[in-house]
Structure 1
Amino acid sequence: MFQLRYPAGSVNPGSDPQGGADFYAVPPSLKSILPAARNVTLEYSVYFPEDFDWVKGGKLPGLYGGHESCSGGDDAESCFSTRMMWRPGGEGEIYLYAPRDKQASNVCATPPKTVCDSVYGMSLGRGSFAFALGGWTRITQTVVLNTPGSPDGSLDLDVNGQRVMSVQGVYYRNAPSASTPQNASCWIHSTFFGGHEQDYATPKDQFTYFGDFVMTVNS
């Protein structure tokens, strides 16, 4: 288990004061097989203290493929990421970076609420679950990559062992070769308040706790 600190007034690791963390990780035991992986699952547990102030929202770890820095308005033509996100009241969602205009129409209709008109990522299934205060929430997300050039990938999310989201028709990549970066996959440990705007900033020093990370290559 480890603790992440978000100093008062912080928004993200690139701002001052620096808040949270943002780094990429590849389990050594999977490093040789991840570039050819098509179906990958990431699991972890996150704890929010009872007095945690959600403000407007914040990022949490997820999977990614392709080049790093697949965020912050990147056009996502050669990368993808599936970070988790909390919103006001602890509402949860998947924050998807992928080529927006190539998704099947149902992706942006994922219930209960999906927002695809942002200049940044796509907020999938906002409010489909809620993060616990004063308790652990277990996140399990599975990415099945699409056939290159076709919107036939999928993204499943289980929370505390219950399926809360199953999105079909996801377009992650257009590259056919396992040697290209679009096929690479690992997790991005991304957690901070934001967004980038100052109205996302935490008003006080806050902490989250993470543990029990497991990454599995299914195929």
Structure 2
Amino acid sequence: MIPSDRLEFAFTTSADCSKIPRVPLADSTLGVHKVSQPQLLTHRIVVPPQPTDSSTGGSQKLPLAAWESLYPAGSISPSSPIKGGFGFYLSGPEAFKAASADAREVIMGYEVMFEESWEWVKGGKLPGIFGGIGNAAYGCSGGRKDERCKCFDLRLMWRANGLGELYAYLPLDPTNTARLLAVPPFSHQNPDYGFSVGRGAWRFTSGKWIKVATRIKMNDVGQENGEVEVYIDGESVIRIEGLVLRDDPASYVQGLHFQTFFGGHSADWASPKDQRAWFTSVSGAVIRDCGRTRDEL
């Protein structure tokens, strides 16, 4: 992935990395805010179960704590009668939050484990990087069309049979459309929602910890030189160059949109049974870029 000597202002909740400052897995230390329906959708901290498949990937040391997500039978999107998963925004520790506001390049990630015998159905959402200009960065999802030039949201999805994809909301720009649709093995522009990008570039499996990370490099204003890259278990599975992520230097990476649920919005997306997934090793780092600040980009 990224050489350690290029990482600065880094943090992690993992006990598996001695070179990066460790912080607790806690809302207060990680800058968790805008929690969706906290009385109904919880992200309680638990001791996660032992993986049933520990052959490759994931933590070498078993995590002592993880956020648990419950997806009840019949649950789909957060607006459905039966609700599942959880959602919030995460800006990271204060030092990271301040550094990322001036950064051109940032990487953030986490580990996820789906319980054994997980049923994928048609798909569901997973956390990813978000950003933009001030409060316009929030809610860059759900079919949003207005002010898309002021925001970006790069969640991931699992699809049927565990196929993975990048689920992208970017500024509505012809260059972005062309770049996103060119990503193999399959990419699609959803009529009313985000872009499904690189579906099948990797496959999620259940019963093991999977490392997920996304790197984003902001474009210079007026140029088509932004980048997005997805890593699974340390391997680059999607890399897109030539993107327009902003047209204003005030737009920047604001953290992780930590959202997960089954869906889709119709019943055929729903979880067929009560299922659980766990999230841990939340991490982030500003990637050193020759000392430039946001005002110089």
Identity among equivalent pairs (%): 38
Q: Is 2:259 aligned against 1:187? A: no
- Cross-structure match for 1:73: 143
Report deviation, 1:117.
4.1
The alignment partner of 2:98 has SS state of coil
- Ranges of 4+ aligned residues in structure 1 off by more than 4 Å: none
1:14 to 71, 79, 85: 79
Distance in 2, Cα, partners of 1:165 & 1:172: 17
CA contact (8 A) 2:155 2:168 kept: yes
The alignment partner of 2:280 has SS state of strand
CA contact (8 A) 1:102 1:151 kept: no
Distance in 2, Cα, partners of 1:203 & 1:125: 26
Distance in 2, Cα, partners of 1:100 & 1:134: 38
RMSD: 1.4
Distance in 2, Cα, partners of 1:151 & 1:79: 16
Q: Is 2:279 aligned against 1:210? A: yes
1:22-46, Cα deviation, whole Å (9 max, x unpaired): 1101112312222222111012111
RCO comparison, higher one (Cα < 8 Å, 6+)? 1
- Cross-structure match for 1:173: 246
| Bigger mean CA offset, 145-154 vs 65-74 | 145-154
5+ residue gaps, structure 1: none
CA contact (8 A) 1:12 1:21 kept: no
Larger Rg: 2
Instruction: State the number of aligned residues.
Output: 215
- Cross-structure match for 2:108: 42
1:140-169, Cα deviation, whole Å (9 max, x unpaired): 110111122332101111111111111111
2:119 to 43, 53, 64: 53
Distance in 1, Cα, partners of 2:236 & 2:253: 26
Distance in 1, Cα, partners of 2:244 & 2:268: 32
Q: What amino acid sits opposite 2:96 in the alignment? A: L
- Which structure has greater strand proportion? 1
The alignment partner of 1:158 has SS state of strand
1:84-105, Cα deviation, whole Å (9 max, x unpaired): 1000000001101012334342
Scaled by the length of structure 1, the TM-score of the pair is: 0.93
- Cross-structure match for 2:51: none
